[in-house]
Structure 1
Amino acid sequence: MIKVYGIPNCGSVKKARALLESMGVAYEFVDFKKTPPSREELTRWVQKTSLQILLNTKGTTYKKLGLKDRNLDDKQKLETMLEHPTLIKRPVIESSDTESSSTIVVGYDEASLKALV
């Protein structure tokens, strides 16, 4: 089962979805704006990668909230990401047989995405 998390109008999300579709890979799309990630999902992603990779420091939301000038610890960053899901780098693509054995790719990376499927 592959899930693509993001927002529909994001360019990186569009490219990832198009690549999966061109390879004939079935996936479920989860819109962050309609279904924000749960604390459990976000924690699982952090365990699979890192908070530094998941936090989108180049996006509009990061700049609008002035996070660069705030010295947030990891717990505060996680809480802020839960409150503002658009702070999460997109897309987050999760491939799993079970929740305990999942692999994720964060951001659009064609080679990593092809290796995932």
Structure 2
Amino acid sequence: MSIVLYGIPNCDTIKKAKKFLQQNEIEFAFHDYRKDGLTPQMLDAFVEQLGWEAVLNKRGTTFRALSDEQKQNLNEATAKQYMLESPAMIKRPILDVDSTLHVGFKADQYQEIFK
């Protein structure tokens, strides 16, 4: 089984997801957008499987810093552009389990994935 957790290390939700995986002795690789980067191909794969609206984190400070005009003219192309420029705008974590992607973290959701 191949497991990759995507995100940024100082995010509280990432910390919870990592803790869950470690406590359940699930081996995973951590992909830090800031250190390891984010390619357009990776983002395309996320958006293709999950949809751009699910991948875009509208509750974060980075998104809220966009102008009203930027938010009103939001579409897949502009959202992807913003996420590539600021990976903090990607909802966290994205969990890749054998090429099946899951977004966000809830303990019961992870319980279901790894049962």
Matches of residues 58-97 of structure 1 in structure 2 within 5 Å? 58-66=59-67, 68-70=68-70, 71-96=73-98
Deviates more, 1:35-44 or 1:4-13: 35-44
- TM-superposed CA distance for 1:73, in Å, is 2.0
Q: How many residues align?
A: 111
Give the unaligned 5+ runs of structure 2: none
The letter of the residue matching 2:25 is: G
Instruction: Give the superposition deviation at 1:116.
Output: 2.4
Secondary structure class of the residue paired with 1:30:
strand
**CA RMSD across the alignment:** 1.3
Residues 1:22 and 2:23 aligned together:
yes
TM-score (norm 1): 0.88
Q: Give the Å deviation of 1:15.
A: 0.3
Preserved CA contact (<8 Å) 1:105 1:112 = no
**Aligned with 1:106 (options 103, 106, 113):** 103
CA distance in 2, matches of 1:45, 1:30: 14
TM-score by length of 2: 0.89
What amino acid is aligned across from residue 89 of structure 1 in structure 2?
K
Contact 1:94 1:105 in 2 (8 A): yes
Instruction: Output the CA distance in 2 between the equivalents of 1:69 and 1:105.
Output: 30
Corresponding position: 1:38 with 2:39 = yes
Task: Give the Cα separation in 2 of the matches to 1:31 and 1:3.
Answer: 10
Unaligned runs of 5+ in 1: 97-101
SS at match of 1:9: coil
- 1:55 Cα deviation from its structure 2 partner: 0.3
The answer to whether the Cα contact below 8 Å between 1:37 and 1:82 also exists between their aligned partners in 2 is: yes
